[in-house]
Structure 1
Amino acid sequence: MLRSLLLFAFGISLAWNASAQTIIDCGSGRYDSELFPDVTVQSDVIYGSNVDANGQTLQLKMDIYQPDGDTAAYRPAIVMVHGGSFIAGSKLDNDVVEICTRFAKRGYVCASIDYRIGIPFPIAEANAVRAVYRAVQDMKAAVRFFRQDAATANTYRIDPDIIFGGGSSAGAFTALHLAYLDDPAELPSQIDTVALGGMEGNSGNPGYSSEIKAVVNLCGALGNKTWIHPGDEPLCSMHGTVDNTVPYGTDMIYLAGIFPIMIVDGSYPVAEQANLVGLDNTMYTYFGADHVPYAIDAAYLDTTIRFVSNFLYRQLGCTPADPEPLANTFPTTGIQDQQKADWSIFPNPAAGRFQWQNLPAEAASFRLVDPQGRVVINSREFRDRAVDLSGLPAGMYFIRLMNEKEQEIGQKVLILLGK
């Protein structure tokens, strides 16, 4: 009788393990190539809410990209975070939109998330550190959102054990800190965990894990590379050697290239530390490239997608068809992209108004954003005319050019002088 009960229990255990264990299909090109020609996007999905730097409660939203017509019961997910120096940017930024689209075509479910942005004046290390921490808490809520969905409605058919986290620029900061700043003893002194909601935060979906399976770091940095320890999450990094926004090595980071914030470890020392502690990690260097080159150059984007795709494919337990690292060679930036980068404003600093020079043809609107992330001017009537700044307080502002799809195509810093 006891033997029969043991066999029955063993059979139940096997059945449970088989049902709980996800089977990743590496065949037919899924996850390794763009198997699906079309993608569906569910926009403005609310994944949480929290109070921003100005004390205002914000709904936190994401756009979810899925392969059209996919019938797989379990899919790996990617949570992608946009850049913008923690003061600007959105889930509609062209680089994260393109990355999510391309990976959804490979069979992933990819979410581009908005998060709380804004750094209160004065622009200093303490306020910047808190801005990063708020973003990390929001990203954690987004990860928990998918685990909660998998355990309840299962709308997105996510494998809760395979959620990757990644980002571009400030978004890469966010993903790196989510993964590696996980010890309360290592938290920077500027972070009041009680006031900000603890390690997990209170942005939503409590009771579920916010851990990610691996990190995709595109031109980001970490406050301290020694936060990376043996057994931490696998890491994929890509970074340019002449990045003037986020350092490739260990250096001071400047907000918008003006305000010194703090010393950070860029992708190269982060990768060195990952190697030192024995993490599964890989790094690709954009030799001679500035910040986020994939955002304006199709060749860099193709290389980025391919390199990250191979890394994620290996994390799924699959063997890429092209497992060798790509050669670090790139074409020069195209004429069209050079023209896009050459637009300017004058005078700067300005004393009440500014004018445009060499606006790109695709510029459909512009936004003037203050350091707290508030849009103070949003206009489509701006070509061939000066922009009136009267009524605005002196200080630093950010000019964001947008295309017809409301995607950012360029950003400049404006200094407004007092009267």
Structure 2
Amino acid sequence: MKHSLLFIAFLLFTFSSFAQLRYTQTVFNKVDTIKDMEFAQSDWLNNMVSLLADYNIHNGESKTIERPLYMDIYSPHDDTVSKRPAILFGFSGGFLKGSRHNDDMIAFCDSFARRGYVTANFDYRIGMGADVTMVFGIPIHVSISERNGARTVYRAVQDSRAAIRFLKHNANEFGIDTTKIYLAGSSAGGFVALHNLYMDKPDEIPPFALGSPTLGNLDTVGIQGYDGRANAIVSMWGALQTPDLIENEQRPALLIHGEEDDVVYFKKGVPLKTLIPDLDALDFNIPETYGGYCIDTALINRNIPHNTYFVPGKKHEFYGVKTGNFGDNGPNQYWDTVQWKISDFLFEQFKPIAEFEYDVQELTLNCFDNTANSTLSEWDFGDETIGNGSTVSHSFHSPGYYKIILSSCNANMACDTLSQIVAIGNPTQVQTSFAPQIKLFPNPAIDQLHISGIAENSRIEIIDLLGRTAIVANLSDSKTVDVSLLNTGIYILKIEREAGTYVQKFQKVN
């Protein structure tokens, strides 16, 4: 029986440790991938100008062909959680090139699936229409207008909404929590993410999109019957056609941008302009767009919470790719930083906030997990014992100050911890045999706390009643510790020696 209890305790500890890391660090060694999953059919431009094929430029938009849209879906191998947040990743390429097979999109999907997410890199339609003047089958003049640009972005936004609706429709099959589907995009994919979130009303659709030939409403493409907007977005070096689209949208956004970006401008400018050849035969009349700086300003002016990571001196795709593909040396030092920024931002959207109450009756502690939507509660009572359940009782062998730690997890198995120092019994002074000579004065203390009766260079720790370490110090001959920067309140002084541990409460006042 004893061995069985020890084994159960070991499993609980192992499971709790695993859950604490999930979504914030790599916890799965293997990823399962479903390739080429068709999520919709849509009309692709189909009148390529042969001499402009490298730029994916088409002569007008009247000729189209219906083709499938695919996504590749990644999930953690042998995962037992059935309701997981999902991240869709949208590729870069200026709406003219690139694909879901870009190096960075594959790497993102693999990395975040190993953290516990379901991830997918998805197709959206690329290619841009233009007004082309032909002589004997040779283009002599090409004009790309605001209309062409607006329709190009709009098609991609339609496809992103179709991808989200597909995941919602098949949520049970893929183990997805439909309230936690996020969209992250790079460059053109950043445009898609931003417009997916902020272009959400019929009157916000560009008039060009509904002109002949009409592209239809926002949800014309793919499975119907679900909201096609992401629950939060990440825009990496993307931009908006106009900040007026934002209105009062409260869904969270993370904006990542290099402040010297000359492809999609950090402030305001014509995107791709520096990449377009300066030719008399080419008119590139795409209007200015509004980058991370302008979007951040608009969100601040509307008092809408959001996150930013703006890097001075850096340009487009600053984590070490070109149109989404790594060079011979792989990504640079910003690759890991961007991943951690995205990881921290998304985890904050669905992590629980641990809360608990307790009462003490002599040596018995009763604890109550008040964490919203908690499905798993695990407790460390600070005396080398653990327990589980939303309501627990634990009896201690002796009075003392014990650090009680709650680990509380929700249905996504996202977890948070909270600790508090709790007085059990009457622990006015819990001490070992060497302790009677140890004295604290003055108590209450204002600026300095003097400690007598201990050896030189003793290591002390001061802990607040939430279990947080406030001061760690090695005391010199003066045996004095500066407590002037502590907030007013009750603290625990802890001294650990070979002979045992001394713990005493003191008060900090102003």
TM over 0.5: yes
Give the aligned residue type for 2:102: D
Give the aligned residue type for 1:237: L
The question of whether the paired residues in 1 share the 8 Å contact of 2:233 and 2:253 is answered with yes
- Gaps of at least 5 residues in structure 2 are 1-16, 47-63, 131-142, 277-283, 322-330, 354-413, 416-510
Q: For the residues of structure 2 that align with 1:199 and 1:299, how far apart are their CA atoms?
A: 42
Which structure 2 residues correspond to residues 271-350 of structure 1 after superposition, within 5 A? 271-296=296-321, 297-318=331-352
Match of 1:410 in 2: none
Q: Alignment partner of 1:56: what SS?
A: strand
Match of 2:111 in 1: 102
Q: Alignment partner of 1:221: what SS?
A: coil
Match of 1:29 in 2: 21
Give the aligned residue type for 2:147: A
Q: Alignment partner of 1:62: what SS?
A: strand
Q: For the residues of structure 1 that align with 2:255 and 2:67, how far apart are their CA atoms?
A: 31
- Say if 2:63 is the partner of 1:45: no
> Alpha-carbon deviation of 1:26?
9.7
Give the aligned residue type for 1:139: S
Which structure 2 residues correspond to residues 5-404 of structure 1 after superposition, within 5 A? 27-54=19-46, 55-121=64-130, 122-150=143-171, 154-192=172-210, 195-254=213-272, 257-258=275-276, 259-296=284-321, 297-318=331-352
| Percent identity of paired positions between Structure 1 and Structure 2 | 34
What do the CA deviations read for 1:161-182 (whole angstroms, capped 9, x no partner)?
A: 1100110000010110011011
Match of 1:21 in 2: none
The question of whether the paired residues in 2 share the 8 Å contact of 1:75 and 1:158 is answered with yes
Q: Which has the higher contact order (CA 8 A, sep 6+)?
A: 1
> Alpha-carbon deviation of 1:58?
1.1
Q: Alignment partner of 2:165: what SS?
A: helix
- Using the size of structure 2 for normalisation, the TM-score is 0.55
Give the root-mean-square deviation of aligned CA atoms.
Answer: 2.2
What do the CA deviations read for 1:33-90 (whole angstroms, capped 9, x no partner)?
A: 1111221221110000110122011100001111112110100011111011101100
What do the CA deviations read for 1:316-372 (whole angstroms, capped 9, x no partner)?
A: 134799xxxxxxxxxxxxxxxxxxxxxxxxxxxxxxxxxxxxxxxxxxxxxxxxxxx
Q: Alignment partner of 1:41: what SS?
A: strand
> Alpha-carbon deviation of 1:120?
1.6
Q: For the residues of structure 1 that align with 2:97 and 2:178, how far apart are their CA atoms?
A: 30
The question of whether the paired residues in 2 share the 8 Å contact of 1:235 and 1:279 is answered with no
Q: For the residues of structure 1 that align with 2:79 and 2:111, how far apart are their CA atoms?
A: 15
How many residue pairs get aligned? The number is 295
Q: Which has the higher strand share?
A: 2
> Alpha-carbon deviation of 1:220?
0.2
Q: For the residues of structure 2 that align with 1:318 and 1:101, how far apart are their CA atoms?
A: 25
What do the CA deviations read for 1:377-417 (whole angstroms, capped 9, x no partner)?
A: xxxxxxxxxxxxxxxxxxxxxxxxxxxxxxxxxxxxxxxxx
Q: For the residues of structure 1 that align with 2:290 and 2:180, how far apart are their CA atoms?
A: 27
Q: For the residues of structure 1 that align with 2:116 and 2:311, how far apart are their CA atoms?
A: 27
Q: Alignment partner of 2:208: what SS?
A: coil
Q: Alignment partner of 2:129: what SS?
A: coil
Q: Alignment partner of 1:34: what SS?
A: coil
